[in-house]
Structure 1
Amino acid sequence: MPVQSIARERRIGLAIIAVLVTAVLIGVFGLGPGPLRRDGPLDGGALGGLAGRVQPTDQGVLWGAVELHNGTDHTVVVDEVTLTGVHGLTTTAGPFVWDGTRYPVLGAGSVAIHGLPLPGAWDALERHSPRGYRIRPRTDDTIEILYEFAVPARDATLDGLTVSYHIGPFAYRRYFPASLKLCPSAATVCTAG
């Protein structure tokens, strides 16, 4: 067999191995634009099982029951936030992010449920887009993911939300079970299911 043929077969073999190794890395580590398979290291707390009665004077509802924290040594970049299991809710604003400046204004880290319009002091809180939002590494700060909903005509629910994010070239997706039930004021009982 000529030397050129052996060299050619060796190059083809190495190319096949490189393709296989790349495919394994993408599948195992969630690299690249393919399916996101792992929760990853993003920390977060979710207030689940929230239920609230919407008052006749409410112009809508603010919901913010998920706080995110980056305990890693690397910057987390949020790619997308999506609601899951939504039934009967109409989003009027959001998702948006409130950063650590919310603590002195709210007196707490999380809004949970609040009728609209919001208190005037809350106007000072900047609404950041979650897409591209950078969560600094190793800080005590958290961010809160928020949505505004229209007043529902009947009982309305959601199951939680999913945050897609990346750290360097590694892509992740994490689900936060933060169930919510909103009831119109005429409802006799409003409890989380």
Structure 2
Amino acid sequence: MSTNKTSPVMDLALVAVFAALIAAFSLAPAVPLPGNAVPITLQTLAVALTAMIIGPWRGAAATLLYLVVGFAGLPVFAQGASTIAVLARPSAGYLISFPIYAIVVGLLARYALRRTNWKRPALLVVAGLVGSFLVVHPLGILGMARNIPIALDRALVADIAFWPGDLVKTVVAALIATAVHKAFPALAARRRVSATSTQAA
């Protein structure tokens, strides 16, 4: 049996730290887009980074903690918003996509983290983009269509404006995550060790 299993205390600490990280990124000044009801923010960068570094389940827990804190009234959402009133805003779909996005990116990132060469950051970028286009953008489009309200085709056109920025943010998240895992390989190694120890038990 291995004694290197992840500590529950460490898990809770990581969840809390990364929830705070998402909040900090969310409070960075938003960039408005002409004719678009939803501004560009750093929230998706923070969520992708969280999932790439601490994995799918802790990453989802961090995003859920972030959402709960914001729904409870602390102004941690973009542009200082708070409470469940944000669910009536055009950006609501993007916001509620974050826990699912973290799970998808975190699961795909596990494969990328088995690589130690140039493929690791490239695969992390792919993980982030797959999660973004499978989860974030579809829910964001539905949120705009419902809450503005506008037709789905117009919501899709509005969402396309975020694609170039999402690519840049995903690349940045992948490069930072690669550097973090290089400096702290135990973050990825723990998951592999835990899996093998479970099989051997």
For normalisation by structure 2, the TM-score amounts to 0.27
Higher helix fraction (1 or 2): 2
Which of structures 1 and 2 has the bigger CA Rg?
A: 1
Higher strand fraction (1 or 2): 1
If asked which structure has higher relative contact order (CA below 8 Å, sep 6+), I would say 1
